[in-house]
Amino acid sequence: MSLPGAVGAADGYAGRLVCSAKGCRADAAYGLLWNNPSLHTPDRRKTWLACEEHRATLGEFLSVRGFLKDVVPVGELTDETV
Ligand SMILES: [Zn+2]
């Protein structure tokens, strides 16, 4: 699946949560939890991190495909979801 404008979750992860949008180095403010039913089992959650600016664009990308399950503040993400 091609994901224009986005790369994998936790890009550059080094004790700092950085926005997953391509080329963005801002601190993440939100975690977007999503699932692609053609790739993942129903209880699986993938996480994209998003800054304030990219929460809407990344969320839109996922929601138009029906993949978006939840959006949570980064402070509520657990090791399991990141
Ligand atoms: Zn960003």
Q: Could you tell me if 18 and 9 are in contact, meaning their C-beta atoms sit under 8 angstroms apart?
A: no
Running DSSP on this structure, what letter comes out for residue 28? P
- Separation of 26 CA from ligand 1 center, angstroms? 5
Q: Could you tell me if 19 and 47 are in contact, meaning their C-beta atoms sit under 8 angstroms apart?
A: no
- Separation of 72 CA from ligand 1 center, angstroms? 15
pTM of the complete model beyond 0.95: no
What pLDDT was estimated at residue 80? 58
24-37 in b/e form (b: 16+ CB < 10 A) is beeebbbbbbbbee
- Separation of 68 CA from ligand 1 center, angstroms? 17
Under-50 pLDDT residues of the chain: 1-8, 10-13
- Residues measured by CB to lie within 5 Å of ligand 1, the ion: 19, 21, 24, 26, 51, 54
What pLDDT was estimated at residue 69? 97
Domain spans in the chain, listed from the N-terminal domain onward: 1-82
What pLDDT was estimated at residue 79? 64
What pLDDT was estimated at residue 39? 95
